[in-house]
Structure 1
């Protein structure tokens, strides 16, 4: 089959590979992470997700809803039973909103925050996603085709639009500060972290609830990724010689970021600090990464400069690690150039699959847990490391963190690159 060839832009002159430090950390204090929550195929909460990822347990399985397609493998969230979903107004919510609300509720509980008592004008919500409410869209399309326009639910748009995870969270918790929805494909979760960091730094809020949520496991999206040759029909194998694509997944992650003074004033114990962030764009191709990884490399170097951190201080990397032929080779080359001391590398997608626009927040939360517990999880599905990737990828069992600083990378269709640098509290 001939793969589609999206529009290609004219060559862009690469920027310097070694950006000068921005001085950001000298100007203001880094936000702290005080809470996190996870809803993933490994479990409906943080504890079960972390246990599954640390055990290196793959969650990919044949999906009856995808039967008959060329690829019918997915990573689904197990049934949810959470008090949040028994509240009034949740019956008509799309799964993506349900995932986001449950993850957010977990994060607030972990942070010891009671929304009933906060000043909502000093709180921000920043969400990430790529597809919006796909189940709601499927149902509306079926009704208009089979029964006519009059049978399309008036709740269609509020269930499908990509900003509705953000709107539902703000409405549920009385947030009247900035509420923003980001969509930079598979980099969106890390983009959301960067936006939240800047809202805190500029004084627009005292705390920010960052939520990445995705529920795009449906026949149309799976067909689209299959037509691009991006999906595996067998397993998620990041950095493995036999890798042949990613496994599509659903889920949500949430982090509470706070100005350190705000957290200290209420006696909150920080879990980690967000000390650096950067974003770049390849301007190379709509779906393929720059084969030399120039944009990704600039993002990693700029994030380290923003963090005022030397490459040698990085103790481990939570890699984008999709398991596609191109991404893993390009990312491996970038990490070898920027981090020649070869810190341990892990990819959560071996266990959880690829949650698209939610991946950056989910993986940042896992990075916080790794720093907190000083344990880097293994990469599930990796049995035969590709010598062409040439990274020190953690396999089999967890490995102790090699230092208190970690890098989390996210790269998305459209050439979006976003990198976060996190440090132990």
Structure 2
């Protein structure tokens, strides 16, 4: 599209195991802070827990907090940080026209009900009848409604007053890529001026760990780097939102860009075909201009699932670009992972330098040169491939 507009990142809201806010993450990454990992609370599985947060700072009403599940609180909090970062928190005129694109899961299970059913069903003469009775009596319609994925967008609207158009995407890692892609595409095409995009994930929940364990995808302790030794998904609690804005809109209100989002691409390889992931990812990297210039690095949002991560690592090794694993630093946040990786990439590009490699991650190499471009890669744990390009905003 020859008349495509630039898209600026003017606000970043980020919470993870490394802390809250851009500055905390910048300091943690630049100082080489070791990954924060919980290997005992959910043994034998590895989890990157959310750093201590006072949700009152962005969600002042206790009633609002109580009706949210943890992942919704994480996302609403990160969204508030992004609005603060962009300088539009509380500006009703701008928030009234701010579009919102959210990546979200389907909510959290009632673990006590699930546990009781699983405990008692083995002793039932008619397990099917027992299960149907439990579903009718314990899983109320109101409980199901409390788990709707679009409630994150609703809570952001209620708490922060973001009342432009709203879209919610489901679909693990791909939903995070597409949430950013749609926000970016609309601004680049001129159909939107400002958008809040992102997602959130609560890793400290046994229902999702069970699903990963049943698929033999959950990382067992001890923790290990995902690119060098992909032995499973080290899930991490995280929330990330970006404020995307047209240069004209940002300039009119006196806002400066953190970085420029120059493109987002989403694809879906035929995973049952050997080499399909590599072929798709190589094509996406080519589209993003991986071979242009010496001031480019790759931020990998690899899941840690063995087969797709091995494919991603092989492609990144052949690219010749310096690589940094986002998942090694904060864990894997599924729907939130692409926004998290984009936030870290934008912070590094804005600073103009790449943080140091992580010990044990053999694919990461020292890079002392200036950094002006960052390519983010996100290969889903069982489907979906995505790439985004962040550049310095001159």
Q: TM-score range by the shorter chain?
A: 0.7 to 0.9
What does residue 84 of structure 1 align with?
58
Where do 5+ consecutive residues of structure 1 fail to align?
A: 1-23, 386-390
Match of 1:124 among 96, 99, 115: 99
Structure 2 CA distance for partners of 1:333 and 1:62, relative to 1, 3 Å? closer
For 1:208 and 1:58, how far apart are their aligned partners in 2?
31
1:206 aligns with 2:187: no
For 1:53 and 1:150, how far apart are their aligned partners in 2?
49
What does residue 173 of structure 1 align with?
160
For 1:289 and 1:106, how far apart are their aligned partners in 2?
42
Where do 5+ consecutive residues of structure 2 fail to align?
A: 121-133
Match of 2:26 among 17, 38, 50: 50
Match of 2:169 among 173, 177, 182: 182
What does residue 6 of structure 2 align with?
30
> What does the per-residue CA deviation read over 1:284-325, in whole Å, with 9 as the maximum and x for residues that have no partner?
24xx98466112222222333xxxx85346611101333444
Match of 1:303 among 283, 288, 311: 288
For 1:100 and 1:59, how far apart are their aligned partners in 2?
20
2:102 alignment partner, SS class: strand
| Deviation for aligned residue 1:180 | 1.1
Contact 1:162 1:181 in 2 (8 A): yes
Q: Give the alignment's TM-score, normalised by structure 1.
A: 0.79
What does residue 130 of structure 2 align with?
none
Contact 1:84 1:105 in 2 (8 A): yes
Contact 1:407 1:419 in 2 (8 A): yes
For 1:358 and 1:331, how far apart are their aligned partners in 2?
19
For 1:164 and 1:394, how far apart are their aligned partners in 2?
41
Match of 2:236 among 249, 261, 272: 249
What does residue 333 of structure 1 align with?
314
Match of 2:297 among 298, 316, 322: 316
What does residue 11 of structure 1 align with?
none
What does residue 36 of structure 2 align with?
59
Match of 1:133 among 107, 112, 120: 107
1:51 alignment partner, SS class: helix
What does residue 269 of structure 1 align with?
256
What does residue 21 of structure 1 align with?
none
Aligned length: 375
For 1:132 and 1:292, how far apart are their aligned partners in 2?
27
Q: Give the alignment's TM-score, normalised by structure 2.
A: 0.85
The root-mean-square deviation of aligned C-alpha atoms, in Å, is: 2.8
1:77 alignment partner, SS class: coil
2:9 alignment partner, SS class: strand
Match of 1:239 among 209, 227, 237: 227
1:219 aligns with 2:206: yes
| Deviation for aligned residue 1:103 | 0.7
